[in-house]
């Protein structure tokens, strides 16, 4: 007599489940110490990003940007994009824009949005980059301003508002239109 395949499968699953052991919970004090050490380390990075020496801030931003830790990258952008240091803010704006796959243009009247793809090969030194909507177009970051030569039927510049948005007006089909891009 052949064993029932369903019963055999269930029996195998039960044996497998019985042999899997759960990781023991860490000691509460060890967990607290680990969390406090991480918190202290994050605060240390935040302090580096606010150092009075511009070179320290820039090197700290680059180091935090290059890490794969999302918490460290968030600190880098949160501090740099709101910094009173225009060089650091400009660098952060370039890094942020150049790391995005697309930019979503929003028109203030709320009736439309459009996205453009950010092409690879951006130049951090000059701030030049390319975007693609229905065709390739050039754009550049100059200070807190991003200029677009032509995005679809629009061109113009948007200014960083210090609140993670580029805002301004674009000339679209001969008409000035308020627009913004969120750069989260």
In 3-state terms the chain splits into helix, strand, coil percentages (rounded to 5) of 40, 30, 30
Cβ 64 vs Cβ 76: under 8 Å: yes
And the tokens for 2?
């052949």
In total, how many domains does the chain have?
2
Asked whether residue 114 falls in the same domain as residue 149, the answer is yes
Asked whether residue 118 falls in the same domain as residue 79, the answer is no
Within a domain: residue 95? no
Asked whether residue 106 falls in the same domain as residue 177, the answer is yes
Would you give the distance in Å from CA 30 to the centre of its chain? 32
> Which parts of the chain have pLDDT scores under 50?
none
Q: What is the pLDDT of residue 12?
A: 57
Asked whether residue 76 falls in the same domain as residue 127, the answer is no
Full-model pTM: 0.76
Within a domain: residue 130? yes
Asked whether residue 127 falls in the same domain as residue 176, the answer is yes
Mind listing the pLDDT tens digit for each residue in 36-49?
Answer: 888 888 888 888 88
- Cα-Cα-Cα-Cα dihedral sign, residues 161, 165, 167, 171: positive
Mind listing the pLDDT tens digit for each residue in 129-139?
Answer: 999 988 899 99
Q: What is the pLDDT of residue 166?
A: 94
Domain region containing 42:
32-83
Cβ 64 vs Cβ 72: under 8 Å: yes
And the tokens for 8?
């055999």
Q: What is the pLDDT of residue 3?
A: 61
Asked whether residue 107 falls in the same domain as residue 177, the answer is yes
Cβ 49 vs Cβ 75: under 8 Å: yes
Longest dimension (CA), the chain: 84
């Amino acid at each position: 007599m052949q064993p029932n395949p369903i019963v055999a499968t269930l029996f195998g699953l039960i044996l497998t489940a019985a042999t899997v052991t759960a990781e023991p919970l860490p000691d509460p004090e060890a967990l607290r110490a680990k969390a406090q050490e991480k918190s202290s380390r994050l605060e240390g990075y935040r302090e580096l990003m606010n150092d009075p020496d511009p070179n320290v801030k820039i090197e700290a931003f680059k180091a935090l940007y290059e890490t794969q830790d999302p918490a460290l990258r968030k600190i880098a952008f949160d501090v740099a994009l709101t910094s009173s240091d225009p060089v650091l803010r400009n660098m952060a704006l370039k890094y942020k824009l150049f790391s995005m796959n697309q930019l979503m243009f929003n028109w203030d009247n709320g009736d439309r949005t459009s996205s453009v793809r950010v092409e690879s090969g951006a130049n951090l030194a000059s701030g030049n980059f390319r975007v693609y909507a229905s065709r390739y177009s050039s754009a550049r970051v100059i200070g807190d301003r991003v200029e677009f030569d032509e995005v679809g039927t629009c061109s113009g510049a948007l200014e960083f508002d210090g609140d993670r948005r580029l805002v301004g007006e674009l000339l679209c089909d001969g008409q000035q239109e308020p627009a913004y891009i969120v750069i989260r």
